[in-house]
Amino acid sequence: MLPWAGMSAEATCAICGRTTLAGERVHGFVEAGEEQTVCELCVARAERLGWRRAGEPEPERPTDGHEGRWRPRRPRMTPPAGEDSTPFEHAVARFNSSEAGHTVVGLTRTLGRPFASVGAAAGAPSEVRVTVAWELSWYQWGVDISDELRPVFEIDKGRELDQLEPAARQWNASVGEDGVLGLAGEQAAKR
């Protein structure tokens, strides 16, 4: 288990995504049952999101009134987005901090750098569609930028690039060697 607080050798903050410096103070939190490292600057934000400090007992689980089952409340992290950030920038930040973003990191290590597209989801003005594709497979996720508590969700996946609609093949984003998604201006990929 992560210590409540300690000095970092090198870690990534689960809130802001920044790599901490050696010797920098970090804090352990638990979010949705998973241990997370949080930098000193993001402790208040983790607490506002309802994350539990590592080492503290888990609170009692409320029931939903149906056969004693419980429904966990999964507070979702909202990456920092400045007042001048665009909806696509905000969606990319949320995507990179999500489970889907972690999936892309792993797939990039295995399959190499993919093509990437970020665009509006059809029929949903507050949803952004993220498409990540390799030569023999592709995945699409949705990011609801109007609902910070809704997790990034899978829309579809497939094997052939020609299965994708033309708008999803507008490769306006890229995935770096580290597997992190960025808009074309951030990590321009000439594909």
pLDDT per residue over 144-166, tens digit each?
A: 988 888 889 999 999 999 999 99
With vertex at residue 158, the alpha carbon angle to CA 157 and CA 163, rounded to the nearest 5 degrees, is 115
Question: Residue 172: its pLDDT value, please?
Answer: 94
Residue 154 near residue 103 (C-beta atoms within 8 A):
no
**Is pLDDT at 67 greater than 60 in this prediction?**
no
Contact status, residue 77 vs residue 153, Cβ threshold 8 Å? no
* Predicted confidence (pLDDT) per residue in 90-132, tens digit: 899 999 988 898 889 888 888 899 999 999 887 778 899 999 9
What angle, 0 to 180 degrees and rounded to 10, lies between the N-to-C axes of helices 99-111 and 87-96?
70
| CA separation for the pair 15, 37 (Å, rounded) | 8
Structure tokens that stand for 164 in this block: 């994708």
> pLDDT tier at 81 (50, 70, 90 boundaries)?
very low
Instruction: Tell me the per-residue pLDDT of 4-18, one tens digit each, with 9 for 90 and over.
Output: 455 556 678 887 777
